[in-house]
């Protein structure tokens, strides 16, 4: 695939903006669909992108479309709506869905796209908006081998670690596994941080001891950057999205007949915080809510023993 293919992008939010910016910087003509948050759209337009009002218009004028949305119903809407991708696409269009979505929806949309001569690639993301801006995201890709090879040079504009994990749908399955691990970490770290505070071990001590041991990892470091150091922007990923991802993972497990008691427990933490009205808090903020359930103010506890 030519390095100068025309790329459309739907969903230029926290992750999508950086990805789209890197596509522009690597020389791709870029078309974006505007949304209510004009700041990232206007920034991309100032960098040379053009804007369309519908996915249908984008599909008629793009070789590749990236989608980076919050959930499966949103992805279905941009495909199947009256002004959706399927209404305007031309033969050979490749759609790269970078959302974290329901694999069954992915497979259904892939079939509808294929009937019209197009190709689906599911390429959900790992890491954070910081890496999106730097062009060093992780991507786990579900695609036919030939299509993967064609789209790889485009994906290399915004990803630093790309794994082809199987056919269409495999990328979203892998992402649900990854996010179940991550959100289970978040629930566990929240729980043990509160436990430590209850028994006289300050959060800063947990951060220092665990972070310097073999139990430390990148997610722990990011999570504790908020829980202890109070960096509110350490991991910009909402509790609503986290809850949705674990819910999709549980549905996948149920369909496969797989046990999932740990994922079910993780889901309960996020569901409870959502129900209390904090769905738009970022994932590390879960530590505050779990501390509060234990009668603690984590911000005050975090001051103890902190350098």
Question: What would the pLDDT profile of 253-282 be if each residue is shown by its tens digit?
Answer: 999 999 999 999 999 999 999 999 999 999
Structure tokens at 74: 């949103």
Question: What would the pLDDT profile of 220-240 be if each residue is shown by its tens digit?
Answer: 999 999 999 999 999 999 999
Taken in order of first residue, the domains within the chain and their CATH numbers are 7-167 (3.40.50.720), 173-302 (1.10.1040.10)
DSSP 238: B
Q: What is the reported pLDDT for 167?
A: 98
Distances (CA, A) of 273 to 18, 189, 219: 29, 15, 20
Cα 84–Cα 280–Cα 248 angle in degrees, nearest 5: 60
Q: Is 2's pLDDT higher than 60?
A: no
Q: What value does the mean pLDDT of the chain take? A: 95
* Claim: this prediction has a pTM higher than 0.85: yes
> Band of the pLDDT at 3, cuts 50, 70, 90?
low
Average pLDDT value for residue range 185-210: 98
Task: Report phi then psi at 220, rounded to 5.
Answer: -60, -45
Q: What is the reported pLDDT for 37?
A: 82
Average pLDDT value for residue range 156-166: 98
Active-site residue list: 175
pLDDT > 70 fraction of the chain, expressed in percent and rounded = 99
Per the listing, tokens 């999570």 go with 223
């Amino acid at each position: 695939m030519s390095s100068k293919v025309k790329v459309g992008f739907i969903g230029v939010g926290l992750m999508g903006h950086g990805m789209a910016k890197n596509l522009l910087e690597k020389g791709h003509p870029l078309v974006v669909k505007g949304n209510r948050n004009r700041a990232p759209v206007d920034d991309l337009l100032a960098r040379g992108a053009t804007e369309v009002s519908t996915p249908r218009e984008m599909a008629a004028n793009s070789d590749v479309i990236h989608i980076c949305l919050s959930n499966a119903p949103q992805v279905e809407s941009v495909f199947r709506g009256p002004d959706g991708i399927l209404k305007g696409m031309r033969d050979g269009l490749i759609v790269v869905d970078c959302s974290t979505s329901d694999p069954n929806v992915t497979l259904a949309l892939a079939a509808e796209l294929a009937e019209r001569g197009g190709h689906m690639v599911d390429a959900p993301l790992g890491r954070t908006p910081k890496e999106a801006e730097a062009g060093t995201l992780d991507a786990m890709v579900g695609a036919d081998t030939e299509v993967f090879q064609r789209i790889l040079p485009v994906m290399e504009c915004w990803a630093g670690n790309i794994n082809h994990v199987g056919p269409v749908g495999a990328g979203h399955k892998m992402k649900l596994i990854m996010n179940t691990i991550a959100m289970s970490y978040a629930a566990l770290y929240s729980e043990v941080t509160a436990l430590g505070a209850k028994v006289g071990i300050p959060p800063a001590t947990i951060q220092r001891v665990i972070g310097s041991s073999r139990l430390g990892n990148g997610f722990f470091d990011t999570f504790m950057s908020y829980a202890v150091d109070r960096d509110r922007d350490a991991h910009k990923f909402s509790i609503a999205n986290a809850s949705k991802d674990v819910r999709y993972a549980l549905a996948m497990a149920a369909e496969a007949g797989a046990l999932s008691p740990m994922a079910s427990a993780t889901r309960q933490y996020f569901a409870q915080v959502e129900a209390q009205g904090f769905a738009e808090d970022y994932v590390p903020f879960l530590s505050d809510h779990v501390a509060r359930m234990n009668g603690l103010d984590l911000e005050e506890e975090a001051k103890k023993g902190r350098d």
